[in-house]
Amino acid sequence: MTRKIRCAVGVVAGALALAAACARVRPSASGTEAPPDSITNPLADSQRAAVLEYAHRLKFDSLPHGAGDRQRLTTLDPIARRDVLGPLAQVLPERRARGNTWYSLERGRIVARITTDGPYTTLGLPAGVSYVWIDSLRPSDSTSIGRAIVIPEDASVAATRLPVLYWKDPYAGHGREPAARWLYVAGHSEYPWLTCVTNGCCVVGETRRERLAL
């Protein structure tokens, strides 16, 4: 399996060209709604109810015009040493994520929703619905590392902490809307690749840009 996606052009190798994956037409009016002040640690089980209440107020772009991505995720078979197909998963962007600022992503926002028909342990995803929270992202002209938290709808499943790799979108500021894609890296994982702030993209679960061939 040889799929590659590029931030600026959103191309999947061997498939139809996609719209720019970091953004699309029609500008967002403002950023993602801020979480309530009561959410101080989205990893904490004691705050799960407040996090989910916040998530349920948000809007995720599910219209059939390329905002999200739905496909089977891959896992590495350690014996055969090859990628095999795993659960079917859909990732959707929060509709106003394009308007997020650096300050809002330092404080934290939910920027995407993931739905799978089975667990994907590489990213800490159980079957069902999970939300992607990003925080601790610091201003940068090119790349930056932040934190993502995968928060399952099922409160009995613990949230998972993952790294986030940010880099600047050269097409930012041209009236774009948020988008979300699955980014395939052979032998490693499928990573959620998301619009996260006004001028950039985030890959959840990875810190090495060179491995992503972007």
How is 141-165 classified by DSSP, letter by letter? SSEEEEEEEEEESSTTSPPEEEEEE
Q: Which domain holds residue 104?
A: 24-212
Q: Note whether residue 14 is domain-resident.
A: no
Domains: count for the chain: 1
Q: Note whether residue 193 is domain-resident.
A: yes
Q: Note whether residue 207 is domain-resident.
A: yes
Residue 142 has a pLDDT of 66
Q: Note whether residue 19 is domain-resident.
A: no
Residue 212 has pLDDT above 80, yes or no: no
Q: Note whether residue 30 is domain-resident.
A: yes
Q: Note whether residue 100 is domain-resident.
A: yes
The residues near 110 (Cβ < 8 Å, ≥ 6 apart) are 32, 35, 51, 54, 55, 58, 94, 131, 132, 133, 151
Going by their DSSP bridges, the two strands 160-168 and 143-152 should be labelled as antiparallel
Residues of the chain with pLDDT > 70: what percent? 77
Residue 197 has a pLDDT of 87
Q: Note whether residue 5 is domain-resident.
A: no
205 touches 211 (CB < 8 A): no
Q: Note whether residue 6 is domain-resident.
A: no
In sequence order, what are the beta bridge partners of 74?
A: 85
Band of residue 13 on the pLDDT scale cut at 50, 70, 90: very low
